[in-house]
Chains A and B, each alone.
Chain A
Amino acid sequence: MTVTVARSVPEALQALAADPPPEVLAGGTDFMVEVNFARRRPEAILAVSRIDALGQWQQSDGQLRLGAGVTYTQLLEPPLAELAPALAQAARTVGSPQIRNAGTIGGNLVTASPAGDTLPVLLALDAEVELASAQGTRTLPLEAFLLGPKRCARRPDELLVAVRFPAPFGRQEFVKVGTRNAMVIAVASVCVVLDPGTGQVRIALGSVGPTPLRARAAEAYLAEQLVPQGTGPTATSAFELRDGDAALAEVRRLVAEAAQPIDDHRSSAAYRRHAVGVCVARALERLLRPAPGAALGEVAA
């Protein structure tokens, strides 16, 4: 067995060009559990946690580009937490401080667990992933990257380099249900992203299907139902639902219908279907209130 500690992306890509390619190790929070329990016996390991560039992020032209090595702890710190608030909410629910210090967004993506907490958020943000190999770089929409439970479109010779999405973008909420507050894999989760500019809504569901799912019927219905409150300089970015509570109930129904849950040791399918409806209703209730900064803005005007 060999272990290579890469210091740069080109160095990592060169190592990955070997046949067979080494297995990539980032924070180890998924990988090492498998090694410790002899479920994974790698011949060659490429450690990427010392590649500084992978742990960095850039914002330009309304896009945020997060290096694959960005940790949950980084996502919780300003200004990232303000640029991607739902991602920070999701990161806040992951594991424990120890896990959030080591675990990376790239590891969450490549593990491609249906319960991966960043995945519904990235799906609702229409994120794209950048994959690099000695052959070159390709970009895939997240929906094309996530293929099934623990399956993604990454080739063994590829390094996941970054994930990109618009930021800052609209109002966002992430809600997760599990058995306790810390150290819990999601039973169900929902991310809702609302663009006050266009009235566009995107809803993604976690832990209720082979991959995170978009609830497109619910999105279309909501787009009809959302009425902005006030216009012009006094606009608060608050919304109302045209049909009030009846609309909320319909969204819950459409979201539950979009879910494809299974029974497993964490939950029954029936509970998951119920929980995902509760999550979306909570997310919407929060989003329909004025944006936290809106009131201040009005006073200043």
Chain B
Amino acid sequence: MRYELVVNGTPREVDSSWLGESLLYVLRERLGLPGSKNACEQGECGSCSVLLDGRLVCACLVLAASAVGAEITTVEGLGGEGPEDLDPIQRAFVEAGAVQCGFCTPGLVVAVHDLLRRVPQPSEWEIREAISGNLCRCTGYGRILDAVQRAARAFAEQAVTR
């Protein structure tokens, strides 16, 4: 069965054998976009976070075939290709040492994008709330909080120099 999804601004043909596939499965297994991670398939871990029509959601809980006509943004759509093309949030994660095994990182980067777009200068509590659906088993979150604050400062400076 074929349908089209618009992912990171590009229309993509999906050829699925079963229409019950989640968006997460389709992104990873059918469209070769493995940035969104799969750890629970039940909305608990946030490692599959994507933006669907601009709203932060878990791709594992979206029926792919129901997302026809929606705008899907994955972590691949946020930065560029190489290490030089990291977006300010990704760079902040690297600089703050907020990445250990890295499994949670793509989901967190997407969640932080969503936060900083809504709340450019978040308080610590706003940050904690915004990433409460993203589990990290490695870092203990301290450096992730640093990274978000760093990214917020970077965005503010960008805005000033522009």
Binding site for B on A (CB under 8 A): 1-3, 5, 25, 27-29, 32-33, 35-37, 41-42, 45, 47, 49-50, 73, 95-99, 101-102, 181-183
Contact = CB atoms under 8 A, between A and B. Distances in A.
Interface residues of B, number: 29
30 contacts: A1-B19, A3-B66, A5-B68, A5-B69, A29-B43, A29-B61, A32-B22, A32-B61, A32-B63, A35-B20, A35-B63, A36-B22, A41-B20, A45-B66, A47-B63, A96-B132, A96-B134, A97-B132, A98-B49, A98-B58, A98-B111, A99-B58, A99-B133, A101-B56, A101-B57, A102-B55, A102-B57, A102-B62, A181-B132, A183-B132
B132 A33 contact: no
A9 B58 CA distance: 26
B62 A98 contact: no
A28 B67 CA distance: 12
Interface string B59-82: 011110110110000000000000
B124 interface: no
B48 to A, nearest CB: 9
B4 interface: no
B146 interface: no
Counting chain B CB atoms within 10 Å of each CB, the highest count among A33, A36, A101, A102 belongs to A36
Given A32-B60, A96-B46, A183-B133, 14 more contacts: A1-B20, A28-B61, A28-B63, A32-B61, A33-B43, A49-B66, A97-B111, A97-B129, A97-B132, A97-B133, A101-B56, A182-B129, A183-B44, A183-B132
Contacts of A27: 61
B17 to A, nearest CB: 10
B44 to A, nearest CB: 7
- Which of A28, A41, A95, A181 has the largest count of B CB atoms less than 10 A from its CB? A28
Contacts of A32: 22, 60-63
Contacts of B66: 3, 5, 25, 28, 45, 47, 49
